[in-house]
Amino acid sequence: MEAVTEKMETDNKMASNTQPLLDPSSDKDAEDRERQARELKAGVHPLKHKFVFWYTTPGVRTQTSYEDNIKKIVEFSTVEGFWVCYCHLARASSLPSPTDLHLFKEGIRPLWEDSANCNGGKWIIRFKKAVSGRFWEDLVLALVGDQLDYGDNICGAVLSIRFNEDILSVWNRNASDHQAVMALRDAIKRHLKLPHSYVMEYKPHDASLRDNSSYRNTWLRG
């Protein structure tokens, strides 16, 4: 926790020092900078992005039924807000099967069809149920702390609780950007300290839409 907080403080100092030189590239960038300035003035530690936790209980998937089944749990934009939220969330070992727990940047819904996701895909890692909670927490901290390479290309992450295994996935914006896709794979491996025995799989969201499945028929193993 201290490491995440220290990184946030360093990033915020750098951002405040260089802010006059930045040319706003989008309304969202400007909104984030304004939010960060307000939060710094309030004496808290702003995150680079605002995040939202969601959950679903998957069933037979149609777009309408799936959207109706997505429930927003809580949103946060500061280090302090994150820990207040996270300390009250149920741990992976206590979640029923099947359940999906999503952590996504604000403004991006955990849907293949969302405009931020539709051209992207996801890296997938399968875990034994006894160890998934630790890897999920490490992934959440890396995402919230903006510690993964090509972080602006990341949309969010999902923990899928299933009967015989748990599955972690990291969603990115552009499945055709091979450099960003492979850099994200390497960053996930590095930050999660994945043993060599673990296989990572990739699947574009358009393929998921075609076969109506998140985790079947994956490709680009690494």
Give the residue numbers spanning the domain of 59.
Answer: 50-211
Which pTM does this prediction carry? 0.82
Provide mean pLDDT across the span 138-157.
94
Mean pLDDT of 121-139: 95
Is 148 strand, coil or helix? coil
> What is the CATH number for 120?
3.30.760.10
How many structural domains compose the chain? 1
- The answer to whether residue 103 is domain-embedded is yes
| pLDDT above 90 for 4 | no
Q: Is the pLDDT of residue 63 over 70?
A: no
Q: Which letter, b or e, does each residue of 197-214 get, where b requires 16 or more Cβ atoms within 10 Å of its Cβ?
A: eeebbbbbbebbeeeeeb
For residue 215, pLDDT over 90 is answered with: no
Position 85 in a domain = yes
Share of the chain above pLDDT 70, in %: 83
Coil, helix or strand at residue 89: coil
